[in-house]
Copies of this chain bind each other. A is one copy, B any other.
Amino acid sequence: MKPAVIEGAYLRDLLAQPAAVTATLTALNHGPDLARFRAAFTSGQLQRVVLTGMGSSYTALHPLQLQWVRAGRTVVRVETSELVHHQPGWLTPETLVVAVSQSGASAEIIRLLELNRGRAPVIGVTNTPDSVLARAADACVPLAAGLEATVACKTYVASLVALSWLEFALTAPDRWEDAAAELRDAANAMGDYLVQWREHVGSLAALLGRERATFFLGRGVSLAAADTAGLIMKEAARCPAESSSCAAFRHGPLELLGPATQVVVFAGEALTLELNRRLWRECCAAGAHAWWCGVDSAQPAFRLPAHAAPALPLLEILPVQMMTVALAALGGREAGQFARASKVTTVE
């Protein structure tokens, strides 16, 4: 029997993601002028970058970190809660802080702004133009993703886009136009995938088991989707689910593989695709329910539309979102409806 999907606000937000990406791209045309940060970057006055956020605002920072580290920059990602209480040593005038918060008002962000008080320059990335973060940051990058009911989805993809813009704005402004065109195409590709949402959710409901232990595995840029998956499966579907790098999974957790586990392996970037495929095959051979998520997946729900490189994280999260809807339906629930969590986390 096909489980009934309760079509609520979270599902409407999921389907509005392509429009959110387009709106973000438009808003970024009026984004802040970052010339002085660019100059400080080039001159070496800014020696290191700290990327910080909580929840999916934190996971969305992964691709930017990789891009800048690949370019030889010193860039770390630190959860805001750890930064303020256990690693305040990062906050110096030579450090650029990029703080992402959809609400711009979570408990950790307020603590960070109080603690920092001009120690380190801060670029805020937020969906709330009049928030504490937007007002206190030295520059504010708008998400303009529109209202979001519960679990981050529109604001997550909007954050990925805004952080991609930030990369170019600070280190290669002349190459942004080309990247923006690829991201506009990605919005269309997202739409192509989401138009089939009923088929995807239906097929996943037949494939997935709520009682199985669930793992999301990837490398490099795909760790953004894997980590966000671990988060939204708990938050939107109330299903425990873990993420790790494919390599870390071999160092112990592999021991769990068997019919009681389900695994999604993200194909990811070409660089490590064959290593990932080998792990996926081993998961299948061990009797686990294992799915390959990439442009060449045999399962339509896990098959990504063809895309340019910067679009990968925008597309990889879509099959996971479909999983949350399918698993919530299997549990007789509306996906993404909060019982305990809240849209803005106000307690540290």
Contacts and interface: CB of A to CB of B under 8 A. Distances in A.
A73 interface: yes
A272 B219 contact: no
A174 interface: no
Contacts of A231: 251-253
A339 interface: yes
Copies in the complex: 2
A235 interface: yes
A348 B272 CA distance: 10
A2 to B, nearest CB: 25
A110 interface: no
A122 to B, nearest CB: 18
Contact of A234 (B85, B88, B256): B256
B69 A48 contact: no
Given A86-B271, A341-B252, A341-B255, A278 B247 contact: no
B256 A347 contact: no
Q: Which of A72, A92, A256 neighbours the largest number of chain B CB atoms within 10 Å of its CB?
A: A256
A327 interface: no
Given A79-B245, A108-B247, A234-B256, A69 B54 contact: no
Nearest to A222: B86
Contact of A85 (B80, B87, B106, B271): B271
Given A238-B255, A238-B256, A87 B74 contact: no
A320 to B, nearest CB: 13
Contacts of A132: none
Q: Which 4 pairs show the lowest CB-CB distances between chains A and B?
A: A81-B247, A55-B251, A235-B252, A86-B220
Interface of A: 47-48, 54-56, 58, 66, 69-74, 76, 79-82, 85-90, 92, 106, 108, 151, 213, 219-221, 223, 230-232, 234-235, 238, 240, 242, 245-248, 250-257, 269, 271-272, 275, 278, 286, 338-341, 345, 347-348
22 contacts: A48-B74, A56-B252, A66-B87, A70-B88, A72-B92, A81-B219, A85-B272, A86-B272, A231-B251, A234-B252, A235-B253, A235-B255, A238-B256, A240-B242, A250-B341, A250-B348, A251-B341, A251-B345, A252-B341, A255-B338, A255-B340, A278-B347
